[in-house]
Chain A
Amino acid sequence: MNDKLQKIRQQFPILNCRVNDKPLVYLDNAATTQKPLSVIDRMTRYYMEENSNVHRGLHHLSQLGTAAFEESRRAFQKFLNSELAEEVIFTKGTTESINLLAFSFGEAFVHEGDEIIISVMEHHANIVPWQQLCARTGAVLKVVPVNDAGELEMEEYKKLLGPKVKLVSIAHVSNTLGTVNPVAEIIRLGHEAGARVHLDGAQAAAHVQVDVRALDVDFYSLSVHKMYGPMGVGILYGKAALLNAMPPWQTGGEMIDKVTFEKTTFGDLPYKFETGTPDVAGVLASVPALEFLQEVGWDFIAEREHALVKYATEKLAQIGGVSLVGTAKEKGGVVSFNIDGVHSSDAATIFDHFGVAVRSGHHCAQPIMARYGIIGTLRASFAVYNTEEEIDVLVKAIEKTVQMFG
């Protein structure tokens, strides 16, 4: 293990845990990443020294909290390279971001007979809100298929694009297959057809640098807990012109301009989309998570993830009866696989006794499971702190599983 990797691991106290009397091998990073001490300390400091509601009081602590909260927004503006800070809407995660978008964009722009394009590899969070929108409005959901390797069928995508398509909503990186989608092309083609494009960045934002202006993407969603930050914080980025044209989703305090019993007028961006008390501690502790990513650097992140995926893919291929699901050329830090004749839940139970944490099941993406005719997979997903030695432990666990169930 090189020095840099060792220094990174030292920042994550949980990596020293033992599970079932074995050192924890945490390979479930696509579900959530672990948090560095800087994030944990920031949360603690907030509750020890700063706790107060934001955007409300005139007293010292509230002012302090509000200033820090808006500083976090600017940190995300910089992180995503958005033009304006108010294009960054705080949500509680990608799922809420997409629900907000489906409601508000739907209200403003989607009518009966219009079309929404998603793909077969989407997480349920990027399927169900659109289905619901279609059910409410009479719009039609169109689905881009994938090939056997787990790549989008771009020719089919082109065929689906037409004048009725109002929005394309596609995963930047697939949570199940690890496929990195050709988002620049997806956006360009969508725009040429007159559609708006949203990217579900839940599995991308901690793995590749996201530049919303370079991408020219209209909307982008992410979850901070999947990028070394706290639970309960997400972002919906949207171009200001579009967000301004969209009505609020949830309504209540903080997002209003003026309320009488006859009529309410709403506040400006970003507040019209942020009603209720936010997770202030989480929003503030997101900043050290972004700093962690910057310090580690995108080159190092890419280099390590590629190395880990390559190593795991080679090692798994040597075990008889293991088949990979998702073999796209462009792949993020995810290795999904099945063991012949062994149910994924049985395997995960055995892995747990080796201290190995992986995800098993359908990963909230049943349509892609149906595409491959399987009910689930085992998914090892990597973060920048994972090591080749940890993959060796996974391999041992797989070998034992094969022996027990074979």
Chain B
Amino acid sequence: MTEIKSCAETEAEIEDEFSLFDDWMDKYSYIIDLSKELPPLDEKYRNDQFLIKGCQSQVWLGAEYRDGRVYFQADSDAIITKGLIYLLIRLLSDRTPQEIIEAQLESLKRIGISDNLSPSRSNGFANMLKQMKMYALVFQTKEG
């Protein structure tokens, strides 16, 4: 079994990948490519109960807690959002609640897609990050 990289290591890895691109257009093309890598969402999550409220794009997010670790899956109807979700899941899925709560994700700001993380009522993506942390908090509280 390969060892799971820490959140910080994965962040560094993602930052490396994006450092290849100078041009914003190339960055978005890469995000569009990443959207295709996102594993399909279990259909039981594709309903209003798991829909994250956001004006612009719809995001469905499900979470499971097994053996002290949180596993996320998600999908969106917007492709850029979907690519960003792929990054978030890569960073935060298969982690302990504590790791998720503590994750700062500064790298996403540094790679120049921070606009998508700005707290705005119209932004399903920012709400998704918040919801992931909420899940982690709830799982941690339940366990404690």
B115 located at the interface, meaning its Cβ lies under 8 Å from any Cβ of chain A in the complex: yes
B79 located at the interface, meaning its Cβ lies under 8 Å from any Cβ of chain A in the complex: yes
A336 located at the interface, meaning its Cβ lies under 8 Å from any Cβ of chain B in the complex: no
A381 located at the interface, meaning its Cβ lies under 8 Å from any Cβ of chain B in the complex: no
How many angstroms between the C-alpha atoms of A375 and B115 in the bound complex? Answer: 23
Query: When A346-B80, A353-B25 are in contact, do A362 and B55 touch as well, CB less than 8 Å?
Result: yes
Which residue from A20, A344, A400, A405 sits with its C-beta under 8 Å from B56? A344
Query: When A362-B55, A404-B32, A405-B32 are in contact, do A346 and B24 touch as well, CB less than 8 Å?
Result: no
Shortest CB-to-CB span from A246 to chain B, Å, is 32
A181 located at the interface, meaning its Cβ lies under 8 Å from any Cβ of chain B in the complex: no
Query: When A343-B57, A362-B55 are in contact, do A405 and B25 touch as well, CB less than 8 Å?
Result: no
How many angstroms between the C-alpha atoms of A355 and B55 in the bound complex? Answer: 21
B42 located at the interface, meaning its Cβ lies under 8 Å from any Cβ of chain A in the complex: no
Which residue from B29, B55, B58, B80 sits with its C-beta under 8 Å from A349? B80
Residues of chain B lying within 8 A (CB to CB) of residue A353: 24-25, 28
A360 located at the interface, meaning its Cβ lies under 8 Å from any Cβ of chain B in the complex: yes
Q: Which of A341-360 contact B (CB under 8 A)?
A: 342-346, 348-350, 352-353, 360
Q: Count B-side interface residues using an 8 Å CB cutoff.
A: 17
Residues of chain A lying within 8 A (CB to CB) of residue B80: 345-346, 349
Task: Find out whether the CB atom of A346 lies under 8 angstroms from the CB atom of B78.
Answer: yes
B17 located at the interface, meaning its Cβ lies under 8 Å from any Cβ of chain A in the complex: no
Residues of chain B lying within 8 A (CB to CB) of residue A400: 25
Task: Find out whether the CB atom of A346 lies under 8 angstroms from the CB atom of B79.
Answer: yes
Query: When A352-B115, A361-B122, A376-B56 are in contact, do A343 and B79 touch as well, CB less than 8 Å?
Result: yes
Task: Find out whether the CB atom of B116 lies under 8 angstroms from the CB atom of A349.
Answer: yes
How many angstroms between the C-alpha atoms of A360 and B123 in the bound complex? Answer: 11
Task: Find out whether the CB atom of A343 lies under 8 angstroms from the CB atom of B78.
Answer: yes
B58 nearest CB neighbor, chain A only: A375
Which residue from A360, A362, A405 sits with its C-beta under 8 Å from B79? A405
How many angstroms between the C-alpha atoms of A362 and B79 in the bound complex? Answer: 18
How many angstroms between the C-alpha atoms of A173 and B56 in the bound complex? Answer: 23
Shortest CB-to-CB span from A15 to chain B, Å, is 21
Task: Find out whether the CB atom of B56 lies under 8 angstroms from the CB atom of A345.
Answer: yes
How many angstroms between the C-alpha atoms of A353 and B32 in the bound complex? Answer: 16
Shortest CB-to-CB span from B11 to chain A, Å, is 22
B76 nearest CB neighbor, chain A only: A343
> What are the interface flags for B108-140 relative to A under an 8 Å C-beta threshold, 1 for contact and 0 otherwise?
000000011000001000000000000000000
B77 located at the interface, meaning its Cβ lies under 8 Å from any Cβ of chain A in the complex: yes
Task: Find out whether the CB atom of B122 lies under 8 angstroms from the CB atom of A375.
Answer: no
B81 located at the interface, meaning its Cβ lies under 8 Å from any Cβ of chain A in the complex: yes
A362 nearest CB neighbor, chain B only: B55
A343 nearest CB neighbor, chain B only: B78
How many angstroms between the C-alpha atoms of A20 and B51 in the bound complex? Answer: 31
Shortest CB-to-CB span from A370 to chain B, Å, is 15
Residues of chain B lying within 8 A (CB to CB) of residue A343: 57, 77-79, 81
Shortest CB-to-CB span from B24 to chain A, Å, is 5
Query: When A352-B115, A361-B122 are in contact, do A345 and B24 touch as well, CB less than 8 Å?
Result: no
Task: Find out whether the CB atom of B56 lies under 8 angstroms from the CB atom of A360.
Answer: yes
> What are the interface flags for B70-114 relative to A under an 8 Å C-beta threshold, 1 for contact and 0 otherwise?
000000011111000000000000000000000000000000000
Which residue from A20, A361, A405 sits with its C-beta under 8 Å from B55? A361
Residues of chain B lying within 8 A (CB to CB) of residue A352: 115
Q: Which of B52-78 contact A (CB under 8 A)?
A: 55-58, 77-78
Which residue from A345, A350, A376 sits with its C-beta under 8 Å from B81? A345
B29 nearest CB neighbor, chain A only: A404
A401 nearest CB neighbor, chain B only: B28
How many angstroms between the C-alpha atoms of A375 and B78 in the bound complex? Answer: 11
Interface residues of A (CB under 8 A from B): 20, 342-346, 348-350, 352-353, 360-362, 375-376, 400, 404-405
A-B contact pairs, 24 of them (CB 8 A): A343-B77, A343-B79, A345-B56, A345-B57, A345-B78, A345-B80, A346-B78, A346-B79, A346-B80, A346-B81, A349-B28, A349-B115, A349-B116, A353-B24, A353-B25, A360-B56, A361-B55, A361-B56, A361-B122, A362-B55, A376-B56, A404-B25, A404-B29, A404-B32
A350-B28, A362-B55 given; 17 more Cβ-contact pairs under 8 Å: A20-B24, A343-B81, A344-B56, A345-B78, A345-B80, A345-B81, A346-B57, A346-B78, A346-B81, A348-B56, A349-B28, A349-B115, A353-B24, A360-B56, A361-B55, A404-B29, A405-B32
Interface residues of B (CB under 8 A from A): 24-25, 28-29, 32, 55-58, 77-81, 115-116, 122
